[in-house]
Structure 1
Amino acid sequence: MTQTIKTYRTLRFGAWILGLLCAATLGFFAWQSFYPVRATDGWSYAVIHRDVAKAASLMPLDDGSLLVTQELKDGLGSIVRIHGNGKREVVVGNLSKPDGMVATRGGWVFSQESDNAPVSFLKDGVVTELFRGENVQGLWVEGDDLYAIEDRKPTGRLMRYRWSDQSLSVLRDQVQEGESIVRCTDGRMLYTEKKKGVVRELTDDGQDPVVLAGLNKPTFLMCDERGLWINEDSTHRARLLLVDPQGKQQTILSFLKAPQSIVPTGRGTYLLAEGGRNRVLELAPEAHTVAP
């Protein structure tokens, strides 16, 4: 009888400890999910659009509206236009993880991060397939050249499409989860390898030196006069980083959840897609005020 009581007490204590651990784990993940985003000194932010499912790429338009890719899979993804009055309309539907988006030739090129999905050109309501890839994410356009990078492991490709003759060239074929490619104001072309946590420079000799390392799943890149902006595609405690022209790295936003693209608005502020919380943020330096 005594042994039975001891066994019961041991089991009850074990169950209590297990329950405590489960509660602590759930509490930790809840804290990670709901802990508010923090801006560093000199910056502020506000949520300007909510309920934007898996917000990924952003494209501010001249009329004040905003194009957003909603990165849902299995044909549930779309490109949505959010008007200045808040009204929304689906521009292109039935997509599978629409991701990258760049403006060119009077329209927009967009990618789909799915197997054998097309990179397409949208103009005047007409969608034209340009070429196909495997999990294409980041896009960049320069004159006759359209660059695309695949978010694959271990054999992702960095490709160049030529508008003039519709040719497609593979520039690199061993990229580890490439997510973004961009030309910076200093002339360098940079791309990310998320799995390795690095940013590389695309060079003519094929060496592609590491520019930055030790990052937490770097995804979208953007360059302007302030330097190189980097978002970390992590679902917990992700950061928006800024590396200034002198190489100094600063955390501008922290406690983000799967942030994606960042783009300038043209009025001194920036828009950031926080896909993990289905929303769009506006980020402003202290010279500007963003009303919550």
Structure 2
Amino acid sequence: MTAKELLAARAFRWCLLATGLLAVLAMAVLGYLRWRPVAAAPGWQYAVLVDDVEMIDSLAVSPAGELLGTTQHNHGKGELVRFDRNWQVTTLLSGLSKPAGLLPWRDGVLIAQEEQNMWVMYWAPSGARPLFRSDYAEGITKLSNGNIVILADRKNGELTEFNPDTGSSRILLSGLDKGEGLCAMPDGRIYFTEKQRNSSLYQYQAGEGPRAGGKLALFGGLQSPGFLLCTSQGIWITEDRTNDGRLLFWDFARLQVIAEHLHAPQSVLIRSDHELLLAEQGRSRLLLFSRNSKP
């Protein structure tokens, strides 16, 4: 082997070694991000209640007081499930396609499915039936007049109001860019986001009068927001990010970070004045957050 060939062979070996070291380093970084513990804000703690519910997504309490959830599998593999007092999981309804919204309604719950031309399903202890069709229904909420509002997660999506008594519907807003997260206040204020980096929280005023209609941006800087929960104190927001999702709270004046390093956090459900549940989809977990004082 000539000196030139020897140098080339050594360079090749060093290249292989460097590539291997970079691969090991990349795996270490990914492992750290994957298992990095959730960081809660001062005054907050969290505990794992369930850690084996794959693709856990929406949460709701049924009119009968049972804790329900959905698993967000697509193509008919999603489910509506119930958590008992020992946190055991029972399937109530299968055959759902990416169920991404859960709303207590009458004697049961409405289930929105985030695929094209799918039924919004009504489930009650007496059985399940389709209510109305919708495209890519990501969020579902209800107004004080009893009407239901659906948000479509697609390009050029819509915010649509549906009257369950007459079967009629009307588009409130169109041209939305993959709407995500939806909740409403008793006075008709509807809040939603669009799932993108540096997204904004938007407000729409339902009803009649000079304040009704229009898409009002309230603040920006949200990173892939995925869920909203309206309360009288403010709005809970989760950011659906794989390695660094956050749980946020907006008190109508300032935005607070309640938890970081979550893996694809989804729905939030208030359990009491000082406790809330959070579906952490990326780790297949149901978390309980508790606080020492109000945020």
Q: How does 1:158-197 map to 2 (within 5 A)?
A: 158-184=159-185, 188-195=189-196, 197=199
Task: Find the counterpart in structure 2 of residue 282 from structure 1.
Answer: 288
Alpha-carbon contact 1:65-1:84 (below 8 Å) kept: no
Cα deviation, 1:199-254, whole Å, max 9, x if unaligned, reads 11114664312112111101111122432111001111110111123x11111010
Long gaps (5+) in structure 2: 206-210
Alpha-carbon contact 1:185-1:223 (below 8 Å) kept: no
Going from structure 1 to structure 2, the CA distance change for 1:46 and 1:61 (only over 3 Å counts) comes to farther
Count of residue pairs the alignment pairs up = 286
Going from structure 1 to structure 2, the CA distance change for 1:205 and 1:225 (only over 3 Å counts) comes to closer
Query: How far apart in 1 are the matches of 2:17 and 2:66?
Result: 54
Alpha-carbon contact 2:63-2:105 (below 8 Å) kept: no
Task: Find the counterpart in structure 1 of residue 224 from structure 2.
Answer: 217
Long gaps (5+) in structure 1: none
Q: Give the Å deviation of 1:42.
A: 0.7
Pick aligned residue for 2:265 from 259, 271, 278: 259
Task: Find the counterpart in structure 1 of residue 146 from structure 2.
Answer: 144
% same residue:
30
CA RMSD of aligned residues (A): 1.9
Q: Give the Å deviation of 1:5.
A: 0.9
Q: 2:166 aligns to what SS in structure 1?
A: coil
Q: Give the Å deviation of 1:187.
A: 5.4
Query: How far apart in 1 are the matches of 2:195 and 2:10?
Result: 49
Name the aligned partner's letter for residue 227 of structure 2.
F
Task: Find the counterpart in structure 2 of residue 58 from structure 1.
Answer: 59
Q: Give the Å deviation of 1:185.
A: 6.5
Alpha-carbon contact 2:62-2:104 (below 8 Å) kept: no
Alpha-carbon contact 2:56-2:281 (below 8 Å) kept: yes
Q: Give the Å deviation of 1:266.
A: 3.4
Query: How far apart in 1 are the matches of 2:142 and 2:188?
Result: 14
Q: How does 1:51-90 map to 2 (within 5 A)?
A: 51-61=52-62, 65-90=66-91
Alpha-carbon contact 2:245-2:261 (below 8 Å) kept: yes
Question: So what's the TM-score if we normalise by structure 1?
Answer: 0.92
Task: Find the counterpart in structure 1 of residue 250 from structure 2.
Answer: 243
1:208 paired with 2:210, answer: no
Query: How far apart in 1 are the matches of 2:273 and 2:291?
Result: 11
Q: 1:265 aligns to what SS in structure 2?
A: strand
Query: How far apart in 2 are the matches of 1:168 and 1:40?
Result: 42
Question: So what's the TM-score if we normalise by structure 2?
Answer: 0.91
Query: How far apart in 2 are the matches of 1:185 and 1:21?
Result: 55
Name the aligned partner's letter for residue 148 of structure 1.
I
Cα deviation, 1:245-266, whole Å, max 9, x if unaligned, reads 3x11111010001000101113
Q: Give the Å deviation of 1:186.
A: 7.1
